[in-house]
Structures are given as C-alpha cells and as structure tokens.
Amino acid sequence: MAKYSTRQRKALALFLSEHPDESFSAVQIASALEPERISLSAVYRNLGELVSQGVICRTQQDNSREILYRYTQAESCRMHLHLACSRCGKTFHMDVPGTDRLIEQVAENADFRVDRSSTVLHGVCGNCMQSAGDSS
Amino acid sequence: MAKYSTRQRKALALFLSEHPDESFSAVQIASALEPERISLSAVYRNLGELVSQGVICRTQQDNSREILYRYTQAESCRMHLHLACSRCGKTFHMDVPGTDRLIEQVAENADFRVDRSSTVLHGVCGNCMQSAGDSS
DNA sequence: CTAGTTGCAAAGAGTTTGCATGGCG
DNA sequence: CGCCATGCAAACTCTTTGCAACTAG
C-alpha cells in the first residue's frame, strides 16, 4: 500500500498534519481539498490507509453516523486525551494535570488499559456554554 | 410522546433495563426481542424516545458505523464514566477513585464540562489483554 | 371512537467497491 | 511500460420516514 506518491495523497496528508487538533469528516476533507481535485473515494481510500498506518485515528460524534478523522502522529497528540464539544464539534487537547494518574488508576483498579489516542471525552466547551447560557 | 403502553415498548424497555452494563445495536435488540415480534422501525422509534427521555444513551464503537444504545437510568450508571473494550465491545463501569476530581479539574483547567453519561473511555479490558497476550 | 403505534417498504446519509482510465516511477 | 491509484457510479449498510392498518385507553 501507498507505493506511489500522488498529488491527492500528498494533499491529504498535508492537510491533516496541518490541523492536528481538529476532527474532520471525509466530506469536509474532500471539500477543503477541492482545489486539489480529490474524489471522495480517493479520500476514503487514503484515509483508510493512514488509519491502518496509525498516522490518524477515527472517532465519531455521538449523534451522527459520520466517521471523523484526526491526525495523531504528532507527539503532543498521542500523549493527550481529547475533549470533543457536542455542540460545536470542535476537538481540544486535554492538558489537565492528574490525567495520567487517573489512567494508571484505571489500569490498577478496573484492569483496563485506556488507549489515549482514541478516547475522547464528550461534553460542552466554554464557548458553547457561554453562548447558550446553559448551566444545567 | 409515549402515551400508550404497547407490547413492543414494554419489551424494549424491559430488555434494556435488564442489561444495564451492555451496549446493543438496534439490530441486536430487534433480534433479541424477536419472540416479541418487534419491527426494526419500532425499535428505532422507541430507542429514539428513550434517548430523548434520558433513559438510555447512544454511543458508538470506533470502527463501526453502528449506533449502540445503553441503559443509563440506573443511578449507578449516570454517576460513572464508562469503559468500552475495543476488542470485545463490552462496556464497564468506571469505578475509579479520583474520577470526579479529574472532571472538576477539566472544568477549571480546560473550561470544558464533561458529560458523564455520554463519555466512554476506549481501550482494552483485562480479559482481552490476557487472551491476546498483548502487552504493547 | 380517536389518536398514538406499528409494520412495511421506500427514501436517505455515509461509506465501500468494481472497473476502466490515468499517472508515478 | 507496468502497476498502483483515481474517478465515477453502483452497491451496501444502517437509519429515518410516509402511509395505511392496528390497537390501547
């Protein structure tokens, strides 16, 4: 797999690596790369490859059946958990002290090895809380 | 909504409440309830209702585009985060001290309100780690 | 009896695949 | 030039919806 370096392949990899904190759907990527003229199927096929290479990871929003893709190659991305706002869909790094300790505790207490790169905590980000005046 | 109590509705609610720790797809539920003769559309419609009533919640497995449903009404379910094994698909309670503190820290440090009932940490459970001899 | 529910089948949304054409090396 | 990758369209999978028939209250 991935023997040739095509215009489409390069554009896709570049785009994702330039947005390490964001998750995109295949359609979003295709339209962002419209100037590069990539077909949706090429996007899907190349995303699949990148996923199996571990360069990016798949996630999903809770009430959509879209699959989202996020660059995880960057050191900084693999070490953090991520936070996803269920209102605006943005993804954030979770740079919170004590996270590692909790993950260790989970391993000891619950006999479960958490995979940092694929787990995403859901909730509402500050921006959305504010703009919605929501305090429930 | 939900003004009448039908055979299908009762069977669905009963089934879910009897399996508070497991996640099911609509198809799984429909076939588990086959003796009760529920159509897939009735399953979907009733699941939708239960979700908006907060009785159950939707989640998704990472590499499938199926939506999964899990009973969350039980007090014990709403207070915990959950762990999902990406090998066997089972869901577990996350009964780990320090979890609440971390969630508070996230609110303060990252200005993000984590929604306990919808977030699921992904990883590998003890059983699967053992049977796969995986230690990566 | 009346309105909420069901079941079926058709429509949607998102993703995957077959096959001929095109482009990298 | 050979083989991989692309593009298009058709096939698929899962979910939603329209509508007539059914049934709980």
Domain ranges of chain B: 7-132
Among chain B residues, the shortest Cα distance to A91 is held by B112
Query: What is the dotted CATH code of the domain comprising B7-132?
Result: 1.10.10.10
The band of B64, judged by pLDDT with boundaries at 50, 70 and 90, is confident
Cβ of A136 near strand C (under 7 Å)? The reply is: no
Q: What is the Cα–Cα distance from A83 to B106, expressed in whole angstroms?
A: 9
Q: Which bases along strand C come within 7 Å of a protein CB atom?
A: 3-9, 13-18, 23-25
Confidence of residue B54 (pLDDT cuts 50, 70, 90): confident
pLDDT at B73 over 80: no
Residue B134 predicted with pLDDT over 60: no
Q: What percent of chain A has pLDDT over 90?
A: 46
- Of the candidates B73, B1, B105, the residue with the CA atom closest to the CA atom of residue A83: B105
pLDDT of A117: 77
A133 pLDDT higher than 80: no
d(CA B44, CA B64): 18
Mutation site, A78, A81, A102, A130, interface B, largest B CB count within 10 A: A102
A110, A112, A114, A118 alpha-carbon torsion, rounded to 10°: -120
Question: What is residue B1's predicted lDDT score, i.e. its pLDDT?
Answer: 61
Q: Is the CB of A5 under 7 A from strand D?
A: no
* Range in A83-97, A115-129, B104-118 with the lowest mean pLDDT: A83-97
User: CA-CA distances (angstroms) from residue A28 to A16, A64, A93, B38, B77?
Assistant: 11, 14, 21, 37, 35
β-bridge partners, A121: A83
CA B96 to chain centre: 18
